[in-house]
Amino acid sequence: MKVVCQKVTKANVKVNNKIVSKISNGLLILVGFTTNDNQEKLNKMASKILSLRIFNDLSIKDINGEILVVSQFTLYANTSKGNRPSYSLALNHQEAKILYDKFCDILKESNLTIKTGIFRENMQVTLTNDGPTTIIIEN
């Protein structure tokens, strides 16, 4: 499991030129899954994200911020050979969808506002990165 966590003042996701989700003051999380990802890794990643002290030494929970979660299998792109990325390390979409939904459900247990993109859709993500603060977490 790999996550790109960005502190934002605002972010939104569009599909077909229509905003499907938007947040202010919080985190935009891009998440990708690979083989061997499981419930334990989902729990650990969610706990780490919810506890990151990146808001003036406070966590997203402390500031009651919002989270926008977007699936992004391209986080597992392998560019070591040639110019065309290989996505063979990315989990197949059927299994990834199950993990994505579980991951979002775990985050929702925090009682924060959790919004999502649309799994397997072509999305346009717009954000204002605050800081800029971007953290990559892998487990």
Which domains, ranges and CATH numbers included, belong to the chain? 2-138 (3.50.80.10)
Examine the residue annotation and report whether 74 is marked as an active-site residue of this protein: yes
Three-class secondary structure assignment of the chain: CEEEEEEEEEEEEEECCEEEEEEEEEEEEEEECECCCCHHHHHHHHHHHHHCCCECCECCCCCCCEEEEEECHHHHCECCCCCCCECCCECCHHHHHHHHHHHHHHHHCCCCEEEECCCCCCCEEEEEEEEEEEEEEEC
Residue that is written with structure tokens 């009682």 in the block: 111
Retrieve residue 86's tokens. 């290989």
Confidence class for position 52, pLDDT limits 50, 70, 90: very high
CA atoms within 13 A on the CB side of 83: 0
Predicted structure pTM score: 0.96
pLDDT the model gives residue 139:
87
**What digits encode the pLDDT tens for the residues 53-77?**
999 999 999 999 999 999 999 999 9
Q: Is the dihedral of CA 79, 80, 83, 87 positive or negative?
A: negative
Distance CA 71, CA 64 (A): 23
* Position 81 confidence tier, pLDDT thresholds 50, 70, 90: very high
Pick the catalytic residue from 74, 116, 126, 133: 74
Per-residue pLDDT tens for 7-50?
Answer: 999 999 999 999 999 999 999 999 999 999 999 999 999 999 99
Q: What is the pLDDT of residues 97-115, one digit of tens each?
A: 999 999 999 999 999 999 9
Question: Given this model, what pLDDT does residue 45 score?
Answer: 98
Instruction: Give me the pLDDT at residue 117, please.
Output: 96
